[in-house]
Amino acid sequence: MAVRTQFLKSIIVLVYLYSYPSGVAGSPQTEGRDVYAEAASAFQQGQLDEAEQTLRGAIAAEPDRPDLLGLLGVVLDAKKEYEQAEPFHERALKLAPGSAGLWNNFGNHHLAQGSDDQAARAFLRVLAVEPGHANANLQLARIALSEKHAAEALRYLDHLKASDQSDTAVQLLRARCLYWAGQTDSAMAIVDRLEQNTAGDMRLAFSLGEALAEWGKYDKAEAAFSRALETDPANIDILHNVGLAALHAGHLDRAQTVFEIAVQQNPDDVESIFNLGRVHAAKGDSETGLVLLAQARRLAPHRPDLLVYMARTYEDAGFFSGAADAYEEYLKLQPNDQTARRERGFTYCRVGRMKTGLPDLNWYVHQYPDDPVGHFELGLCETLGDTAEAFQQLDEALRLKPDFTVARQARGWLLGREERWAEALPDLKSVVEREPKNSMALLQLGRTYLELQQPAKAVEYLRRAQRLAPENRGVLMQLHRALRSSGQNQEAAAVLEQFKNAEPDRTALKASAQVFEFLRLDPTEQRERFRQNLANAAAASPSDPELKVQMGTLLLNDGKTEEALAAFREVLKLSPTRILNEAATVLAERKQYALAREFLTEIVAADPSVDNRLELAVATFHALGPAASLAEIEKISVADRNGDVYLLQAQVLDALGRFEDAGESLNAGLRMEPKRADLYFWASLFLLKHKKDQQALRLLDQATTIVPDAPDLLLTRAVVLELVRKTEQSEDLLKKIQSRWPECGRCYLVQGIIEATHRKPEQALQSLRTAIALGERTASAYYYLADVTRMARPGDREASRQAISEALRLDPNDASSHALAGKIALEEEDLAKAAEQLKEAIRLRPDLAEAHYSLMIAYKKLGRPNEAVTESQIFRRIREQNPDFEDDTAGIRKMLFAKRP
């Protein structure tokens, strides 16, 4: 519960109780002491400008008076002129470094700016001089508690004098420390004692309310805030906290009344409007709740907590288009909220915008592979696309969380949709056992028994479903079928009559406002329902080509290419170019290049711009191959060709084996500053493949200026900087990338490889572990993890062995991994295994010098001198023929061309 207050919290009040401006001992002149006393008196009376003027004049005359300097720092702090204050505090401390008072003032200075770390350092200096100093101990206790170090906070409180210990605010702080130290009974005893003294003491009652709310004791918090409100009934902040406590305590009528009063008092108070909306949502009145939340959003459009709550309320109400919009706005403000990004993707999928939603979900699962919710949501969305992927994701969700009932129900539903009824049965039985009132699970289970030719059991479960959802048309239809199959024709007829009279399914005028109900629908109707929603929306808005694009996308996801093509062709009849391009983009993103090419052909016929022709050439390259793509490129006049066209031409020529021509096109393109990140990326790899590292770096310098927000290009530039021995620049760039894209596992992989190359095994080990934790589970990552573990943890051979085994599992044809596995076995004196791995490495790559060298050692230890001599000779020959065979950039260069998972 976020408590709102204009009061100082109790512990903050202690700053004023215990931290009046402190001077230092000394023997200044009488006149000087009069100046100090005059300024201190003005300060204590709130005459800050007068105090400042007096002190500045005195310091001009006596610049080495620490008491005057320190007091001026305090005065400026009170005026919130912290930057001006700091030099005066520092000058005072330089003159009197042993003054507890000056260190205390300096701690308060940092505290006022929210810098708890610096404040704590200053207060510790106070305790070094005066261990029982009240304010220093109190502030250190508060800071320790804020960092969840309750036991440490209690130790600071124990340093206080008995007279200070008995102070009400100190007692309340002690109660908070005791509570978080696990001594809840002792904490509540203090609170109970303090509650007896709250009559007429608004501040104490309010502070108790804060503490109780912090502990989740909302009933008692509500009572405490109510006592504070009795003292000041018009105080909006107290009123607000009474409402919040009532909301959290479940006293929704009281909360509604309180927030309505607050809104009447201040119609533009965002907090009260927001929380009144929350109350209505909690009462199940989402419509009123959303109206209030929208009102609050208009008043505070950039408030993250409001936006994310609104998104979740839209979801609960089934308005997923509104939820998606709210998540979009929220993520602009909080781009690192991974859960919100996941939910945005799921929300888009639930309105059928798969191409928009799936990237978020795929990203999330890649970054957080141990989160069952991510796998569940991705699996659920893939049920309208890649069925095999859907099963894989749902299986993983259940492996991670076997009691994940909704995922089990989804898998049972999907198995049923694929007519794998016997496999669906255990999942659905498990769901019904756990949730006997889950009407849709009962429906699915009944349907499954029906398909398994067990109509009696089907009737049993479908009747249970009907009792829970008597108007559900899916339940009624399946019950009708089951009754007929079991020979109960009279009852079947009655159920059919109910079906005819049941309310038809609700449909939305706009598909984006319709709930994408995977688990609330009869499995046989789910896809038809969504398709019907789209059709109805299109019928209601026949001039809306975007709906036709959605229909085509859905059919494409169903694998019904011909029907999808028909739907997309209807778009052609309606369409402005923008929608045609949107449709083509959908198809290209789905890698349906042949279909995309048909659309792009139409687009080019209507508008033969260079950009449109370029898109057509790209689609043709993927659909028909490089020769056909080159023919499309040649239709663009030389005068109209831009840098992107030349880069694509270079890629096409490279695919045709015309390397010199590809190089010429590449150079021509680079002179014209291309704009597409994907083509820049290919061009950089082309140059690196041909060992033109410096030219690749110049290309990437240009690319990252023109396309500054493409992480792949920036990361490739970091790699190339390392290749050209600019390691420091490479590391700096990697840090910037990691700061901007903290989820970038590949960045940490590159960093780890660079650190390993430069013999920094400990740093490399941490970087590689981070990369893998962020989802970079590649053969390269595990290869380097195994290698640096050998260097950083030579005694942990098991970890090295596990890492190299995983590398080989991911890429069994990687010669370097076999060679490293051989080295590890050699170190463990498993000579037979070492020889086996090393010979496999040599089979895969005969010129791998390190494998021959290690095999030579293995043969020597095996007592096979002749074979050892042979390997030694091969090793020397490779070295003579390839003097650069030990190039330490080979690993990172290889990683660039590795296929990503």
- Give the model confidence (pLDDT) of 119-141 as tens digits: 999 999 999 999 989 999 999 99
Q: What is the pLDDT of residue 71?
A: 93
Q: Are 367 and 465 in the same domain?
A: no
Kindly state whether residue 415 falls inside one of the protein's structural domains. Answer: yes
Gap between the Cα atoms of 533 and 507, Å rounded:
6
- Give the model confidence (pLDDT) of 200-209 as tens digits: 566 776 677 6
Assess whether pLDDT exceeds 50 at residue 26.
no
Q: Are 416 and 479 in the same domain?
A: no
- Asked if residue 380 lies in contact with residue 348, where contact means CB atoms within 8 angstroms, the answer is no
Assess whether pLDDT exceeds 80 at residue 503.
no
Assess whether pLDDT exceeds 80 at residue 659.
yes
19: tokens are 């931290």
Q: Are 892 and 800 in the same domain?
A: yes
369: tokens are 């592979």
Assess whether pLDDT exceeds 70 at residue 198.
no
Query: Residue 519's pLDDT band (boundaries 50, 70, 90)?
Result: very low
- Give the model confidence (pLDDT) of 851-879 as tens digits: 899 999 999 999 999 999 999 999 899 88
**Spatial CA neighbour of 166 closest among 178, 157, 155:** 157
Q: Are 760 and 885 in the same domain?
A: yes
Q: What is the pLDDT of residue 50?
A: 93
How many other β-carbons are positioned within 10 Å of the β-carbon of residue 859? Answer: 22
C-alpha dist (Å) from residue 539 to 82, 353, 532, 534, 547 = 65, 19, 10, 9, 10
Q: Are 890 and 838 in the same domain?
A: yes
Query: Residue 176's pLDDT band (boundaries 50, 70, 90)?
Result: confident
Ranges 244-253, 545-554, 699-708, 825-834, most confident: 825-834
Kindly state whether residue 311 falls inside one of the protein's structural domains. Answer: no
Kindly state whether residue 851 falls inside one of the protein's structural domains. Answer: yes
Domain boundary among 474, 504, 534: 504
Taking the alpha carbons at both ends of the chain, their separation in whole angstroms is 42
C-alpha dist (Å) from residue 740 to 336, 553, 675, 804, 872 = 9, 33, 22, 31, 49
Type of residue found at 515: V
Residue 477 sits in which domain range? 436-504
Q: What is the pLDDT of residue 668?
A: 86
Q: Are 749 and 804 in the same domain?
A: yes
Q: Are 369 and 459 in the same domain?
A: no
Q: Which residue has the higher pLDDT, 266 or 130?
A: 130
Assess whether pLDDT exceeds 80 at residue 155.
yes
- Give the model confidence (pLDDT) of 686-701 as tens digits: 888 878 888 888 888 8
SS3 annotation, 487-548: CCHHHHHHHHHHHHHCCCCCCCCCHHHCCCCCCCCCCCCHHHHHHHHHHHHHHHCCCCHHHH
Kindly state whether residue 791 falls inside one of the protein's structural domains. Answer: yes
**Spatial CA neighbour of 92 closest among 76, 75, 71, 113:** 71
Q: What is the pLDDT of residue 739?
A: 52
Query: Residue 785's pLDDT band (boundaries 50, 70, 90)?
Result: very high
Q: Counting Cβ atoms within 10 Å, is residue 279 exposed (0-12), middle (13-18) or buried (19+)?
A: buried
Domain boundary among 366, 391, 420: 420
Domain boundary among 487, 504, 521: 504
Kindly state whether residue 815 falls inside one of the protein's structural domains. Answer: yes
- Give the model confidence (pLDDT) of 291-350 as tens digits: 888 888 888 988 999 999 989 888 877 667 678 888 998 999 999 999 999 999 998 888
**What is the CA angle 764-766-767, rounded to 5?**
65
Kindly state whether residue 877 falls inside one of the protein's structural domains. Answer: yes
Q: Are 500 and 363 in the same domain?
A: no
66: tokens are 């620490």
Kindly state whether residue 304 falls inside one of the protein's structural domains. Answer: no
Cβ neighbors of 794 (< 8 A, separation 6 or more) are none
Cβ neighbors of 619 (< 8 A, separation 6 or more) are 584, 588, 593, 596, 597, 600
Ranges 427-441, 546-560, 650-664, most confident: 427-441
Q: DSSP H helical segments within 513-671, as ranges?
A: 526-540, 545-557, 561-574, 577-589, 593-606, 610-624, 626-633, 643-655, 659-670
Q: Are 408 and 449 in the same domain?
A: no
The residue whose two tokens read 């979740």 is: 312
Kindly state whether residue 20 falls inside one of the protein's structural domains. Answer: no
Domain count, the chain: 3
Q: What is the pLDDT of residue 887?
A: 55
Query: Is the CA virtual torsion 411, 416, 420, 421 positive or negative?
Result: positive
Gap between the Cα atoms of 234 and 237, Å rounded:
9
Q: What is the pLDDT of residue 496?
A: 74
- Give the model confidence (pLDDT) of 562-598 as tens digits: 777 777 777 766 656 666 777 787 778 777 788 788 8
Q: Are 800 and 874 in the same domain?
A: yes
CATH of the domain at 371: 1.25.40.10
Q: What is the pLDDT of residue 733?
A: 87
Q: What is the pLDDT of residue 86?
A: 92
